[in-house]
Amino acid sequence: MKEFSILILAILVTATCGWANLGDGDDKIEDSYGSILQRSLRDDGTVSVLYHKDRYLYMVTFNNGRSVSESYFHVKGTDLSEKEITKFLKANAAGATWTSENTAKERRFRRSDGKAEATYGTVRDKPALTVREAHGKP
């Protein structure tokens, strides 16, 4: 039983270490999200980077070398499944929970600590989940 527990812990640590998320530095993001397709300096001084790994594209905005916004979408431009949306939200939970705050026009999510928010909508003409730091009051 002890060996089984150690194996499960090792798998969880490996899975956690291989996944980057909101707030991580550019080195960890680059190691996790694959090859860079495009890098752009934006007018506000942030840097936008588009990555490709497996069947996903990742659009990450960095401010001072730290991820402040991430969009996840399929390379083929198809909708993310509920399971995929849940996976990406969970990866960005930082110990908090996500609640749905849908409106008539879009799907919205808010993290229980008030430090992040997410929307499911269109990015670059493709359906995408975008997770970003929340500004203002939680």
Tell me whether residue 25 is in a domain: yes
pLDDT beyond 50 at 57: yes
Tell me whether residue 138 is in a domain: no
* Domain hosting residue 105, numbered range: 2-133
Q: What's the domain count of the chain?
A: 1
pLDDT beyond 60 at 16: no
Residue type, 27: D
Q: Determine phi and psi for 104, rounding to 5 degrees.
A: -65, -25
Tokens 């990450």 sit on residue: 60
- pLDDT tens digits along 104-133: 888 999 999 999 999 999 988 999 999 999
pLDDT beyond 80 at 2: no
Please give the structure tokens belonging to residue 107.
């799907």
The predicted model scores a pTM of 0.82
